[in-house]
Chain A
């Protein structure tokens, strides 16, 4: 029995003439949380979309649960793999509960209606992202952070084994950043799931990610445990600015210094 949730071999992705990754080798087992770090516009979102099957790779193969990505019927894949998009926009007004409930879509037959059990799942997910009181509120009346957590609630209701999250902490205050990542961390470590998330904060990556993938541009990448890979030098080179590592007891903290 192959416990591999995700396997990418020789994965090559380009946007136009720009390489995102060149011959990426990636394996993700249950319980692993992989952080993707890299400067703006380097292709983190493109990589996540490729893994989610939303766009074609230029080369190489991706397997989800031992089966080639492109051979998965979309609905069956959606029961196992979910992606929190970076931006969510609601075109029409709906209640937060209705928005969360949409995550049940791939689990319901084409003609089935949501049951009370589905509705309980949606309420529980809203509780988890601390929007429990908001179930009857309009999705148009949310702040940026609340809207972000609502999108995460939809993903929690979708309940995939492999969670892809594109900058899940966008718009969130520090306390909610931690509670959201706690939530993902718990699902991954306690329920045998795996997650890949694009992050901008090396400190959050240190706290939550077992592994990190650094994207340097021109297809160059580095993959390893976050403990090994997240160093002053490498992060400074990655972002092209000075990043210092400060030891605070057990925890190492990365600080950005102002360049003069």
Chain B
């Protein structure tokens, strides 16, 4: 399906509308009842500004980071089935972050550990998955799946040997949970820089989607570009995991849907995916907070519950997936 420029404009208009609407929804809804932001007073204002707003901001940021990282993984693999969760980046980030926390490495902040974990996984997966001279997408994907389950086992090990008091919190965080997510400006700055760098490289990403050989022939220094993508995707994933744990399916579903709506040109795809990823996670988190209120669900459970059936439907309809 090829999208017309008019349709792309309409999609972007809708995405632009969806962002403030989802923000309004997430601020208004919650376990302490529906609060219109403009009617808030005293105590309700405190709930809005100190509880709901920071959490909403974290959801917006994490959603856009994961969606962008998903786009990058899909370019690397030349396969719309890739995302940082499936390939084990989120798992690696979680394990390293957990190790940092349990060992009490206070001199190394959690986002740094998560970034290192994601980067180690990226290099591991893409070096191990590398065939004769070129990556075969199946091999990398399989390597990623296996490495991801390896991280899963390590996580269970750390949890099983850890003390019981922190178990529930850690478990929630591992499933993807925004209730304690706070963004530290120190880490958002390099992340924002990486995002801008990726956006500036959009046309190169288009060329890389045609394959490493073709990209090289069209003048891209592919080795450097791949390392840029490795580092950027690991940073985005690491920061997202440090903020909210391993949330799956956002990096998979969002780019996939946006590809259908605005096409494969990354100059349109990246902003669309970032915007929709932000709204999507914010709405999912609002649902997670309110569906079984006052009980709260980890948002990762919800994204998986939405993501799995949606993904299966898309997969049935998608072409060009080998």
List the interface of chain A (C-beta within 8 A of B).
49, 52-54, 74-79, 82-83, 85, 88-95, 98, 102-103, 105-106, 108, 110-111, 113, 136-138, 140, 158
The stretch among B60-68, B144-152, B164-172, B204-212 that forms the contact with chain A is B204-212
Q: Is the Cβ of B210 less than 8 Å from the Cβ of A82?
A: no
Q: Is the Cβ of A74 less than 8 Å from the Cβ of B203?
A: no
Q: Is the Cβ of B219 less than 8 Å from the Cβ of A79?
A: yes
- Check if B14 is an interface residue, CB within 8 A of chain A: no
When distances are taken between beta carbons in the complex, the residues of chain B under 8 Å from A53 are 216
Q: Is the Cβ of B320 less than 8 Å from the Cβ of A74?
A: no
When distances are taken between beta carbons in the complex, the residues of chain A under 8 Å from B317 are none
Shortest Cβ distance from A83 into B: residue: B217
Q: Is the Cβ of B218 less than 8 Å from the Cβ of A90?
A: no
Q: Is the Cβ of A138 less than 8 Å from the Cβ of B203?
A: no
Q: Choose among B78, B219, B264, B265 the residue that contacts A105 (Cβ–Cβ < 8 A).
A: B219
CA distance A141 to B201 in the complex (A): 28
Q: Is the Cβ of A54 less than 8 Å from the Cβ of B210?
A: no
Q: Is the Cβ of A92 less than 8 Å from the Cβ of B216?
A: no
**Known contacts A91-B209, A94-B263, A94-B265; is-contact A74 B200 (Cβ 8 Å):** no
Q: Is the Cβ of B320 less than 8 Å from the Cβ of A91?
A: yes
CA distance A150 to B253 in the complex (A): 30
When distances are taken between beta carbons in the complex, the residues of chain A under 8 Å from B209 are 91-92
Query: Distance in Å from the Cβ of B229 to the closest Cβ of chain A?
Result: 15
Q: Is the Cβ of A90 less than 8 Å from the Cβ of B320?
A: yes
When distances are taken between beta carbons in the complex, the residues of chain A under 8 Å from B2 are 93-95, 136-138
Q: Is the Cβ of A91 less than 8 Å from the Cβ of B213?
A: no
Q: Is the Cβ of B264 less than 8 Å from the Cβ of A94?
A: yes
Q: Is the Cβ of B259 less than 8 Å from the Cβ of A85?
A: no
When distances are taken between beta carbons in the complex, the residues of chain B under 8 Å from A82 are 217
Q: Is the Cβ of A91 less than 8 Å from the Cβ of B217?
A: no
Query: Distance in Å from the Cβ of A248 to the closest Cβ of chain B?
Result: 39
Q: Is the Cβ of A54 less than 8 Å from the Cβ of B217?
A: yes
Q: Is the Cβ of A140 less than 8 Å from the Cβ of B320?
A: yes
Query: Distance in Å from the Cβ of A189 to the closest Cβ of chain B?
Result: 24
When distances are taken between beta carbons in the complex, the residues of chain B under 8 Å from A78 are 217-219
**Known contacts A82-B217, A92-B80; is-contact A138 B210 (Cβ 8 Å):** no
- Check if B295 is an interface residue, CB within 8 A of chain A: no
C-beta contact mask, B219-263 vs A, less than 8 Å → 1, else 0?
Answer: 111000000000000000000000000000000000000010001
CA distance A158 to B215 in the complex (A): 12
Q: Is the Cβ of B265 less than 8 Å from the Cβ of A93?
A: no
CA distance A75 to B225 in the complex (A): 13
When distances are taken between beta carbons in the complex, the residues of chain A under 8 Å from B264 are 92-94, 98
Q: Choose among B200, B267, B319 the residue that contacts A93 (Cβ–Cβ < 8 A).
A: B319
CA distance A111 to B197 in the complex (A): 11
Q: Which of A49, A74, A108 has most chain B Cβ within 10 Å? A: A74
Query: Distance in Å from the Cβ of B170 to the closest Cβ of chain A?
Result: 38
- Check if B46 is an interface residue, CB within 8 A of chain A: no
- Check if B156 is an interface residue, CB within 8 A of chain A: no
Q: Choose among B78, B220, B265 the residue that contacts A74 (Cβ–Cβ < 8 A).
A: B220
Shortest Cβ distance from A151 into B: residue: B214
Shortest Cβ distance from A138 into B: residue: B2
When distances are taken between beta carbons in the complex, the residues of chain A under 8 Å from B218 are 78, 102-103, 105-106, 158
